Amino acid sequence: MDSATSETRTPLRASADNGLKIVVVGGFGAGKTTMVRSVSEIRPLNTEETMTQAGEAVDDLSGVRGKTATTVAFDFGRITLDAHNVLYLFGAPGQERFWFLWDRLFSGTLGAVVLVDTRRIDDSWYAIDRLEKHGTPFIVACNDFGGPAFAPEQVREALDLDPHVPLVTCDARSRASSKLVLISLVEHIQALYAAPDSAPALPQELV
């Protein structure tokens, strides 16, 4: 398995002048920070803070008792596509008390990944609802935490997911797996924009 800590990072090109934005969103402890960290070619900017006993009265820790830090603003990573195009990744905070930040993060977004922990699938409903209200293209990625496996039909039913929304599985710790998630999102966006008179096609380097 690829490790989030064992990858050799590629230096950034100074000539990049066109940025494409993708947001990774989902419930508390779903693995958003881990995904951004694993796939980014630079050392990600993150706003993780140590969790304290005071937060236990606010945050639902069921299923994530081993979690010791949490994102309080957003995570940021970057992938160079070619000499002039880069992909910016923003990981949104998962706790309900930080959801007010999401609408700002969605502004100008090309698309989004909804990362799902199937042990806490109810935590994903708000993210899907907000993205649908914004009209933002998204896919759903079930992060593998080693728990019971669910059939895709069960996950779709639990999330009341539209049939056209792609559903994939991933291991957010793996760079290769996380890259496949982003490729699935880009392919979905390309399909949505494939109709005549649609927006210009995305750079081929994304595929």
Tokens of 144: 């593998």
pLDDT at 154: 94
Which stretches of the chain are assigned E, i.e. beta strand?
A: 18-26, 48-50, 69-71, 75-80, 85-91, 111-116, 138-143, 167-170
Helix (H, G, I), strand (E, B) or coil at 37: helix
pLDDT at 75: 86
Rounded to 10°, the helix 175-192/32-39 angle is 100
pLDDT at 187: 94
pLDDT at 62: 54
- What is the mean pLDDT of each successive set of 10 residues along the chain, which is 207 residues long? 47 66 90 92 66 46 49 75 88 68 79 93 88 92 86 94 95 96 94 68 52
Helix (H) or strand (E) holding 158: helix 152-159
116 contacts 108 by C-beta, under 8 angstroms: no
